[in-house]
Structures are given as structure tokens and as C-alpha cells.
């Protein structure tokens, strides 16, 4: 099944801007790339949009290249950044890059013979590129006035931009040129903030290769309906790495998205066709939570695994469903362990547990907060233990609760869960 890539991106709401002739280019199987910054050892939800661009590209019969900016990551892209950033050292970048590669392998098909995906690292072609050559062969072709006109640079002229970050567009431009000549890559995609960098590449290619046809597609930056950044909630980024964001938390994140963002998210992240998505929306028009569950299920399965999804779902059912204490008791220990897996946990020996003087102390310890804060929360009716609100009176006394399965206490702070485990 080959789809019309540009058409598909359009109905998915993933086209912000593109070069005029790109549609013609895409009538033939084409190679395209998206760049990723190895600034962390995991991709996050923001990167997931770019990754989906490549997924849809490959499904449409084109060849995707994921470029990991081992070199450019050492420079720092000024786009969307209000101030100069710290440079990462080489070892960190190398490590991050390997981790990111592993994550990408879940999404793209590297085995197919027809249009296998590929991951490249621009450090490979920069490491032996000397300054003189770079300035003669690349820098010569773009003018300062052209470079200064870019929004990413304009926005920084007041607050300051180093020559290093200013040069970034040349590097990214050359990346495109390199891929164009070595991998026959004709198209670069990215977030709308990348437009300036991409066109710099197109400009460079057209200077170096007179008949060249290089193109760009950018996609809107993912934001919440209130305009704030998506996937960067309170506790920071939502990562794809299970060690940084547990599958349970990941799953919960999608269940908790704003209703208003649903149509947008379904279209970007669900790999179904247009009719199916519309059908889902009609079927669940009165029940946005069902839609969120589908969204959460699909993305969690895609990023983690079916098993992880099932555990997350099970945990959510138990923790947020109508579940009462009896249901926890009725669940077998192994399952319960899995349900509790993603929760912050404090473990004590029976002796240690005995020595905790008051329930307030216990709460402070379990939630890793100060005693004053624990006190405030309890006074504000904000803490439950084993699904029952903690009274102020109880809080001042020595903990006296029935342990679930004779070893767990489930403590709730609002909607968040914490676990205390007492070893026998």
C-alpha cells in the first residue's frame, strides 16, 4: 500500500510549509531526511513528531534517513533558543547518539530491501573536514546578509549570539548537501523552526550544483491548545526511554491530554488511515476518554511494547478505577508488583518501619517532602493511605494501617501515587 505522502501529511495536519515543487518530486520514490539533536540520551515526545514524519515517509514508499547531529550537536542550533547554550563534550554526544539509534530502530524498517531506513551521523563527514576547506567550499557560497536575515539569527541579535551558533546554519546546510550528493537525498523535513536552516541548505546546494532540485517540508511545532509546550509538563520532559519516564507514566501522560488537543494528536500519532481515525472520532464523540485510551494504547505500544502497555493499563485500572482495597487484596502478588512497578517506592525493614514516630513522618518520607509540607497537605485533605483520606488525628499518631498483602502501603497525594514497602 503506497500512500501519497504529501497528501497524507496534509490531512494529518503535519504540513506547516513546503517548497512549491515538492509534490512533483514526491511522485517518484525519494530519499528524505530529518535531523535530531543528540542533546540527551533519549528522544522525547517532541522528537516523536519528527520521527513520525519519517515513519509516514517510509510507508509511502520513500526512503527515510535519520540524521543524528553528532557534529552539529556540539555547536548548538540557535533556532528557538533565547540564549547561548553550553556545549556538550564528545563522549556524552557519542553515548547519546547510540541510545537514540536504538530507540529509532523501533520505528523505522532497516531491513526492507526496497527502501530501508538509514541512520547517519554528521560527525562522520565533519571530523576530517578542516576549517580552511570548510570556509572555501561552504562558507564562500552564502552571504552574511542572507544568513543574518534568518529569524533564528534575528531573534538573537539583541540578546547576543556567538559566531559558533551563527555558523550553525552553514553546517546544517552542508549536511543537506552531503546527503544530496552521497545519498541522493532530495528532501529535508523538520519542525517549522527549521525552515531557515533547511532553506540555507537548499541555497547551498543550488549554488554548488546548478541543476539541483532540493526541497523542504516543515511541520508545525507541537503545542498544547493553550499555546504552551507539549510534552514538557510539570516534571519535565516526557521521554521515550523507559528508565527516564516509566511506561506507566508515559501511558498516563496520554490519558491526561487536553480534550481540545485530541484531534490533532490522533492525526499525528496514530498510524491508521484517515477514514479509520474519523470513524474512531465519530464512534467516541461523546466519550473523549475512550479516544484518549486508544491514543495512549497505540503510542505506548509503539514506543514501548504491548506488555508494557498492558501493565500500564492494568495499573491505571487498579489505581484510578473504582477499585477499592479488596480488589488490591484479590489481585495476586506478582500482578500487584507489576502494577506498582512504575510508582515511586520507599522500602523499609520491619524494624525501620516500626521506628517511624508519626504518620506525618511516614508521609514526608514516602513522598520525599519536608515535614511542613506533609503537614500542609494533610491539613488540606490532600493525602490518602490505602485509598482512605488521612485525618489530622491519624497523622499525629504512630502509623497504624493494615499493610496490603502484608507489605505495602499505598499513599496518595492528590492524583499521584507513592508506595511504601515494608520488608518482613
Partner RNA sequence: GGGGAGAUACCAAAGUGGCCAACUGGGGCGGACUGUAAAUCCGCUGUCUCUGACUUCACAGGUUCGAAUCCUGUUCUCCCCA
Query: Considering only residues 17, 256, 335, 391, which one is a binding residue for RNA as defined by CB under 7 A?
Result: 256
Our finding on whether 415 is near RNA (CB under 7 A) is yes
Our finding on whether 368 is near RNA (CB under 7 A) is no
Return the number of other C-beta atoms located less than 10 Å from residue 20's C-beta. 7
In the complex with RNA, the residue whose CB is nearer, 91 or 234, is: 234
In the complex with RNA, the residue whose CB is nearer, 29 or 414, is: 414
For residue 20, which phi and psi values (nearest 5 degrees)? -55, -40
Our finding on whether 255 is near RNA (CB under 7 A) is yes
Shortest spacing between CB 158 and RNA, in angstroms:
10
Residue 164 CA neighbour count, 13 Å, CB half: 12
Candidates 127-135, 211-219, 378-386, 400-408: pick the segment binding RNA (CB under 7 A): 378-386
Cα gap 140→150, rounded to integer Å: 18
Query: Considering only residues 106, 376, 398, 405, which one is a binding residue for RNA as defined by CB under 7 A?
Result: 376
Helix or strand holding residue 327 (H, E):
helix 325-330
Query: Strands 408-413 and 383-385, how do they pair?
Result: antiparallel
Our finding on whether 382 is near RNA (CB under 7 A) is yes
For residue 399, which phi and psi values (nearest 5 degrees)? -55, 130
* Per-residue contact string for residues 262-301; x = within reach of RNA by CB under 7 A: --------------------------xx--x---------
Q: Which residues 6+ apart lie within 8 Å of 330 measured at CB?
A: none
Q: Cell 499518631 maps to which residue? A: 397
Our finding on whether 349 is near RNA (CB under 7 A) is no
Which three cell numbers mark 176?
543537506
Contact 67, 197 (CB under 8 A): no
Cα gap 182→200, rounded to integer Å: 18
Shortest spacing between CB 86 and RNA, in angstroms:
17
Return the number of other C-beta atoms located less than 10 Å from residue 62's C-beta. 21
Residue 129 falls in which region: left (phi positive, over 0), alpha (psi -120 to 50) or beta: beta
Candidates 110-118, 346-354, 377-385, 403-411: pick the segment binding RNA (CB under 7 A): 377-385
To the nearest 10°, report the CA torsion of 332, 334, 337, 342. -120
Q: Which residues 6+ apart lie within 8 Å of 248 measured at CB?
A: 311, 312, 315, 316, 341, 342, 343
Question: Is residue 141 helix, strand or coil?
Answer: helix
Our finding on whether 226 is near RNA (CB under 7 A) is yes
Our finding on whether 370 is near RNA (CB under 7 A) is yes
Candidates 12-20, 124-132, 178-186, 376-384: pick the segment binding RNA (CB under 7 A): 376-384
Q: Which residues 6+ apart lie within 8 Å of 375 measured at CB?
A: 360, 395
Shortest spacing between CB 293 and RNA, in angstroms:
8
In the complex with RNA, the residue whose CB is nearer, 159 or 243, is: 159
Taken in order 9, 202, 184, 40, is the CA torsion positive or negative?
A: negative
**How is the beta sheet containing 63-68 ordered, strand by strand?**
17-18, 215-219, 185-191, 31-36, 63-68, 118-121
Shortest spacing between CB 312 and RNA, in angstroms:
9
In the complex with RNA, the residue whose CB is nearer, 192 or 233, is: 233
Our finding on whether 259 is near RNA (CB under 7 A) is yes
Shortest spacing between CB 285 and RNA, in angstroms:
11
Shortest spacing between CB 280 and RNA, in angstroms:
15
Q: How many residues bind RNA (CB under 7 A)?
A: 30
Candidates 117-125, 163-171, 201-209, 410-418: pick the segment binding RNA (CB under 7 A): 410-418
Query: Considering only residues 84, 258, 281, 338, which one is a binding residue for RNA as defined by CB under 7 A?
Result: 258
Our finding on whether 377 is near RNA (CB under 7 A) is yes
Candidates 86-94, 213-221, 338-346, 371-379: pick the segment binding RNA (CB under 7 A): 371-379
Binding positions for RNA, rule: CB under 7 A? 226, 234, 252, 255-260, 288-289, 292, 316-317, 320, 364, 370-373, 375-377, 380-382, 413-416
Amino acid at each position: 500500500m503506497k500512500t501519497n505522502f504529501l497528501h497524507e501529511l496534509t490531512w494529518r495536519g503535519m504540513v506547516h510549509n513546503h517548497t512549491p515543487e515538492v509534490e512533483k518530486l514526491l511522485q517518484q520514490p525519494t530519499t528524505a531526511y530529518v535531523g535530531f539533536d543528540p542533546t540527551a540520551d533519549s528522544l522525547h515526545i517532541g522528537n516523536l513528531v519528527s520521527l513520525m514524519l519519517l515513519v509516514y515517509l517510509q510507508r509511502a514508499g520513500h526512503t527515510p534517513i535519520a540524521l543524528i547531529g553528532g557534529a552539529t550537536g556540539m555547536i548548538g542550533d540557535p533556532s528557538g533558543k533565547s540564549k547561548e547554550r553550553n556545549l556538550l563534550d564528545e563522549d556524552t554526544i557519542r553515548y547519546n547518539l547510540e541510545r537514540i539509534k536504538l530507540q529509532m530502530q523501533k520505528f523505522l524498517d532497516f531491513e526492507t530491501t526496497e527502501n530501508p531506513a538509514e541512520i547517519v551521523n554528521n560527525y562522520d563527514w565533519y571530523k576530517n573536514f578542516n576549517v580552511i576547506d570548510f570556509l572555501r567550499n561552504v562558507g564562500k557560497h552564502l552571504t552574511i546578509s542572507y544568513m543574518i536575515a534568518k529569524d533564528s539569527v534575528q531573534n538573537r541579535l539583541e540578546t547576543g549570539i556567538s559566531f559558533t551558533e551563527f555558523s550553525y546554519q552553514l553546517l546544517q546546510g552542508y549536511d543537506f548537501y552531503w546527503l544530496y550528493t552521497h545519498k541522493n537525498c532530495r528532501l529535508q523535513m523538520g519542525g517549522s523552526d527549521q525552515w531557515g536552516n533547511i532553506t540555507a541548505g537548499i541555497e547551498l546546494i543550488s549554488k554548488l550544483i546548478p541543476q539541483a532540485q532540493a526541497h523542504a517540508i516543515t511541520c508545525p511545532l507541537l503545542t498544547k491548545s493553550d499555546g504552551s509546550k507539549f510534552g514538557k509538563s510539570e516534571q519535565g520532559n516526557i521521554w521515550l526511554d523507559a528508565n527516564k519516564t516509566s511506561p506507566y507514566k508515559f501511558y498516563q501522560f496520554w490519558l491526561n491530554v487536553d480534550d481540545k488537543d485530541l484531534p490533532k494528536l490522533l492525526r499525528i500519532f496514530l498510524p491508521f488511515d484517515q477514514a479509520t481515525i474519523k470513524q474512531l472520532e465519530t464512534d467516541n464523540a461523546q466519550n473523549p476518554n475512550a479516544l484518549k485510551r486508544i491514543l495512549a494504547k497505540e503510542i505506548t505500544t509503539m514506543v514501548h511494547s504491548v506488555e508494557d502497555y498492558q501493565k500500564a493499563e492494568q495499573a491505571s485500572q487498579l489505581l484510578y478505577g473504582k477499585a477499592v482495597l479488596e480488589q488490591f487484596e484479590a489481585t495476586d502478588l506478582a500482578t500487584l508488583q507489576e502494577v506498582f512497578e512504575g510508582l515511586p517506592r520507599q522500602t523499609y525493614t520491619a524494624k525501620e518501619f516500626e521506628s517511624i514516630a508519626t504518620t506525618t513522618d511516614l508521609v514526608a518520607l514516602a513522598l520525599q517532602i519536608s515535614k511542613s509540607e506533609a503537614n500542609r497537605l494533610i491539613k488540606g485533605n490532600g493525602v490518602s493511605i490505602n485509598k482512605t483520606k488521612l485525618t489530622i488525628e491519624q497523622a499525629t499518631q504512630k502509623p497504624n494501617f493494615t499493610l496490603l498483602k502484608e507489605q505495602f502501603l499505598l499513599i496518595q497525594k492528590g492524583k499521584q501515587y507513592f508506595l511504601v514497602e515494608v520488608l518482613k
